[in-house]
Amino acid sequence: MAKTLLLIDGNSLAFRAFYAMHSQLDRMKNQDGLHTNALVAFNNFLDTLVDPMQPDYCLVAWDAGKTTFRTEKLDSYKGSRQSTPPELVEQFPYLRQLVEFHGIKSYELPGYEADDIIGTLAKLGAQADLAVTIVTGDRDLLQLVDENITVLVTKKGVTELETFDPAAVIEKYDGLTAEQIVDMKALTGDTADNYPGVTKIGPVTAIKLLKEWDTLENLYENIEALKKSKMKENLINDRQQAFMSQDLARIRTNIELPIGIDDINYRDADYEGIIPFYQMLNFKQQLAKLHAAGYGKNVNNMQPKQADIKMQAITEANLTEVAALTGEVSFYLETTSPNYHVSEMVGFAIGNDKQGYFVGRSVDWLLTPAIRDLLTSSTIKKNVYNAKATIVLLNRLGITLQNIATDIILAAYLLDTNTNVDDISELAQQFDYYDIESDESVYGKGAKFAIPTDDEILFKHLVNKVHAINQLTPKVMAKLVDHEQMPLYEKIELPLTYVLAQMEIAGIMVDTEQLKAQGSKLIERLSELEQAIYQKAGEEFNIQSPKQLGEILFEKMKLPIIKKTKTGYSTAVDVLEQLAPEAPIVEDILQYRQVAKIQQTYIEGLLKVVHSTDSKIHTRYMQTLTQTGRLSSVDPNLQNIPIRLEEGRKIRKAFVPSHVDWQIFGADYSQIELRVLAHITGDEHLQAAFKEDDDIHAATARRIFGLSKDEEVDGNMRRKAKAVNFGIVYGISDFGLSQSIGVSRAEAKTMIETYFEQYPGVNAWLKSVVAEAKLNGYVETLSKRRRYLPEINAKSFNLRSFAERTAMNTPIQGSAADIIKLAMINMQSALKDQGLQAQMLLQVHDELIFEAPTSEIPILEELVPKIMDSAVSLDVPLKVESHYGPTWFDAK
């Protein structure tokens, strides 16, 4: 085998790398604000392509500067190029270091471009019988291709390359050989490099001429033989230009280089030495990979290997040692699926660094006094990953987990809401801890998921998890202190975890017969509608397929196309509503959609998740998911049960109390977000409206439409004002407002301007919160909940605008979330203190749903609003309304 020489066009690939990850430019920065997008992509290229290639010789050639022999010949050479973006310029020195760590020399030569260095070394290599490979993003280098020299050109990003050998060049250039490429450029010129060719000659003509005359020289020697034509004239006139361009396009293959092939031996990548460099660049994934491969044992931040962890499998013999654990322990309970209400418990680990870790497969061990006492002890602190899951799981075993000190996932979410991971290893990586494999790599995924039957494998992984919890605990807690988020964590989120766990465990009773009865009626209705639709369409098709429906409506029936989506015609409600007067089928389709939604999502969907054991639905509240601090509800989602339309609202009749002679009781905050807005903006007029308990939308209408105090606000004005109020909360735009109330953009703009004149405090606050976000990179709620907005300074208008709207909305939505969370905590303890049987069951963002004995209803009507409106003290009053009835439907 011939020895190999690899030559890399540094600048060209750096540009490609930069633009390959350009969309993430604002997100990819290290601790010092250095952009790393090109570095990441370039590193991927080196990792995936160069390292495995293991060439004998290798060099990355760089451009030395703007002035080269080509600019001497033509002032304007490459003169039309935009200047290199500063975000890329700052990465160049580090790109060179990166290359060095990968065992590759860098080289540049004043007066020449990287191309000329590559050309010269490629020829030298070929002469020495080396197999030469060139990697570039620039097709001009294809002129170097010959039987010994192969050129790889980037196709997409920097890791997908297209290979050019002599045959491939001929194929690509329609019969032209690699040597002829220079002459082609001479004739066509190059707009990117800004040199001219011959007037009116493009690639097609150039290829035709060169196929006939072979070279530029030969063409001009025989120029008189060409038939008289405009082209011939142009060729003759532009002769000098053509030869100058040929000279510029030709890559030099014989420049004098102070280095030779022997100076560019490839050394293996220095994976050990690169670790601090990766750490500086914040390359977490790379670090994790290296660590998994066994590097970095002696580097700071890279933790001791698993072998150093004191661990033992639990036996009858060592139970006394487990029982002797004191102070603070970490605990992890493994399951086979995320739904902890039903998932199987397949193993656990418990312990601490000092006294060791204990691991077992059977959860029966947890029921032994030794371990049960630890878990229920109010003096021994527990550190966990996902406290709520752990509480619910242990509750299934009859164990009440007490005294949780740290839930690392909850804390990590408060530190950065983007941390919504469901794997300890991912979380660990974010905190520079790498001694743990991902669940996927140990258990597999999808059909291949399996808990290892080998104790050694499972136990090691479980101990790694609990050890990781133990190591991460002080790190996350220290950061909470940095962020001034300890009160948020200790007074709101952690106490809330217990409350949510109780609500989930309680579940809500469902009358399945009621649901089934509703379901059979809906099925009948659906088949009627289906027949009507087929009949009007003149054929049968899948009504639920937007594609097929679009074809029927817009192709067969030729209805006007109002809106398109990425994939075809839009058939969304607002579109269909506009089409309804045009064709009666549309009304049927709207009906069908509505009924199908209720039937599929709410009848069948809910029936599927009713637990057979207790006829209840147990949702899970995601406490570490939303970007604003709200909860979300899954499996099933009980926060989007229909209410707006009567047909759907009937679903609520199936949600009933779990005891005879009990009621469903609900209480909701009225206008909590606008009240929060009034409070944080300090706006006098908005505050006054709430202090006087005005109808807030009517009050806004009066102000933006200039009505006096006693003038009547008509329904339409109130509707528009309500949309403005919503718009303010969402981070308003004239376009958005115009869409929502169907007025012109100009009209919407005027309304917003008037609003800001009338509520100057709101205007000032919105401006200041965006400015604050731009300065800090994040915004905060009343309780110092934090949301990072990395795109707030983005160049892209869209990304930046979105971040700005988010900056305005998050403190409002998030503070409202803070308030109801506090109310829930206070509520739970009030119910307990007063010895009530009432149980809090659901939270729907601004409302709480309870079940209670009928006899307790009068007490709740006093107590619940009182607790809710006193959760925090704002500059405006909070208002709470309550309702009750025999089902959720009736609690209105």
Partner DNA sequence: TGGATCACG
Partner DNA sequence: ACGTACGTGATCCAC
**With the C-alpha atoms ordered 29, 30, 33, 38, is the resulting torsion angle positive or negative?**
negative
Nearest to 600 by CA among 512, 676, 663, 515: 515
Nearer to DNA, 351 or 865 (CB): 865
Q: How far is the CB of 515 from DNA (least distance, A)?
A: 13
Residue 699 beta carbon to DNA: minimum distance, rounded to whole angstroms: 17
737 vs 245: CA distance, rounded Å: 56
Interface pattern 612-641 for DNA (x via CB under 7 A):
----------x--xxxx-x-xxxxxx-xxx
For residue 730, the minimal CB distance to DNA (Å) is: 4
Cα gap 870→877, rounded to integer Å: 9
Q: How far is the CB of 666 from DNA (least distance, A)?
A: 10
Nearer to DNA, 43 or 570 (CB): 570
CA distances from 494 to 229, 413, 620 (A): 85, 12, 16
Our finding on whether 740 is near DNA (CB under 7 A) is yes
Give the closest residue to 173 by CA, choosing from 141, 207, 197: 207
| Least distance to DNA, CB of residue 18, Å | 22
Closest CB to DNA among 164 and 592? 592
Q: How far is the CB of 602 from DNA (least distance, A)?
A: 8
Tell me which of 159, 502, 754, 801 binds DNA, using CB under 7 A.
Answer: 801
By beta-carbon proximity to DNA, the closer residue of 245 and 623 is 623
Q: Which two tokens stand for residue 750?
A: 């005027």
The CA distance from 390 to 52, in Å, is 44
Do 591 and 639 form a contact (C-beta atoms < 8 A)?
Answer: no
Q: Which of residues 77-136 bind DNA (CB under 7 A)?
A: none
Contact 403, 380 (CB under 8 A): yes
Place of tokens 């560019």: 264
- Residue 726 in the binding site for DNA (CB under 7 A): yes
* Separation CA 843–CA 620 (nearest Å): 11
Nearer to DNA, 446 or 835 (CB): 446
Indicate the residue among 215 and 548 with the shorter CB distance to DNA: 548
Of 332 and 592, CB closest to DNA: 592
What lies within 8 Å, CB to CB, of 355 at 6+ separation is 310, 321, 324, 325, 326
Contact predicate 755/703, CB 8 Å: yes
Binding segment toward DNA, per CB under 7 A, in 43-51, 74-82, 138-146, 809-817: 809-817
CB environment 747-778: b (16+ within 10 A), e (fewer): ebbebbeebbebbebbbebbeebbebbeeeeb
Rank residues 199 and 548 by Cβ distance to DNA and give the closer one.
Answer: 548
Written as six digits, the tokens of 272 are 């050990």
Closest approach of DNA to the CB of residue 670, in Å:
10
Quick one: which segment of 240-248, 404-412, 801-809, 825-833 binds DNA (CB under 7 A)?
A: 801-809
Q: Which of residues 18-77 bind DNA (CB under 7 A)?
A: none
By the rule CB under 7 A, 717 interacts with DNA: no
Percent helix, percent strand, percent coil in the chain, to nearest 5: 50, 15, 35
Q: Are 288 and 301 in contact (CB under 8 A)?
A: no
The least distance separating DNA from the CB of residue 655, rounded to whole angstroms, comes to 13
Are 43 and 286 in contact, with CB atoms under 8 Å apart?
yes
Return the residues of window 398-457 that contact DNA according to CB under 7 A: none
What is the nearest approach in angstroms of DNA to the Cβ of residue 159?
Answer: 19
CA distance 91 to 84: 11
298 binds DNA (CB under 7 A): no
Positions in 781-800 near DNA (CB under 7 A): 797-798
Q: Does 491 bind DNA (CB under 7 A)?
A: no
Distance, CA of 810 to CA of 757 (rounded, Å): 23
Q: Which stretch binds DNA (CB under 7 A): 392-400, 474-482, 487-495, 729-737?
A: 729-737
The position carrying tokens 């990179």 is: 777
State the minimum distance, in angstroms, from the CB of residue 575 to DNA.
Answer: 7
Contacts with DNA in 582-601 (CB under 7 A)? Answer: 590, 593-594, 597, 600-601
> Could you give phi then psi for residue 427, rounded to 5 degrees?
-60, -45
Smallest distance, DNA to C-beta of residue 550, A: 7
Tally: H helices and E strands in the chain = 40, 23
With respect to DNA, which residue has the nearer C-beta, 63 or 493?
493
Site for DNA in 835-864 (CB under 7 A): 844-847
Q: Pattern of binders to DNA over 642-661, x per CB under 7 A?
A: xxxx--xx------------
CB of 735 to DNA, least distance (A): 3
Cβ proximity to DNA, 47 vs 604, nearer residue: 604
* In the complex, least distance from residue 748 CB atom to DNA, rounded to whole angstroms: 8
> How far is 891 from 847, CA to CA, in rounded Å?
12
Footprint of DNA on residues 558-577 (CB under 7 A)?
A: 565-567, 570-573, 576
What string of DSSP letters covers 772-827? HHHHHSEEE-TT--EEE-GGGG-SSHHHHHHHHHHHHHHHHHHHHHHHHHHHHHHH
Choose between 564 and 691: whose C-beta lies nearer to DNA: 564
Q: Are 394 and 400 in contact (CB under 8 A)?
A: yes
Q: In what order do the strands lie in the sheet with 616-617?
A: 616-617, 508-510, 655-656
Minimum distance between the CB of residue 494 and DNA, rounded to whole angstroms? 21
Smaller CB separation from DNA, 475 or 652: 652
Among 228, 230, 448, 608, binds DNA (CB under 7 A): 608
- Minimum CB distance to DNA smaller for 117 or for 827: 827
Give a three-class secondary structure readout of 830-891. Answer: HHHHCCCCCEEEEECCCEEEEEEEHHHHHHHHHHHHHHHHCCCCCCCCCCEEEEEECCCCCC
Question: Which one, 228 or 566, has the nearer CB to DNA?
Answer: 566
Q: Which one of residues 196, 347, 727, 761 is an interface residue with DNA (CB under 7 A)? A: 727
Total Cβ atoms within 10 A of residue 329: 25
Helix extents (H) in 669-713: 672-681, 684-691, 696-704
Nearer to DNA, 437 or 734 (CB): 734
Q: Smallest distance from the beta carbon of 640 to DNA, in angstroms?
A: 3
How many residues are given for the chain? 892
Site stretch for DNA (CB under 7 A), options 41-49, 121-129, 689-697, 805-813: 805-813
What does 413-480 look like in DSSP terms, one character per residue? HHH-TT---S-HHHHHHHTT------HHHHH--GGG----S-HHHHHHHHHHHHHHHHHHHHHHHHHH
DSSP state letter for 396: H
Beta carbon nearer to DNA, 593 or 702: 593
In the complex, what is the shortest distance from the CB of residue 348 to DNA, in angstroms, rounded to a whole number?
Answer: 27
Q: Which member of 281, 350, 509, 723 binds DNA (CB under 7 A)?
A: 723
Exactly one of 535, 735, 757, 776 binds DNA (CB under 7 A); that residue is 735
Q: Does 730 participate in binding DNA (rule CB under 7 A)?
A: yes
Residues of span 538-557 touching DNA by CB under 7 A: 542, 544-548
To DNA, the closest distance from the beta carbon of 778 in angstroms equals: 13
d(CA 144, CA 150): 8
List 264, 442, 476, 737, residue binding DNA (CB under 7 A): 737
Q: How many residues bind DNA (CB under 7 A)?
A: 72
| Minimal distance, residue 805 CB to DNA, in Å | 4
Residue whose CB is less far from DNA, 46 or 617 = 617
**Does residue 813 touch DNA according to CB under 7 A?**
yes
Q: Which residue has the tokens 């994790």?
A: 288
Nearer to DNA, 479 or 649 (CB): 649
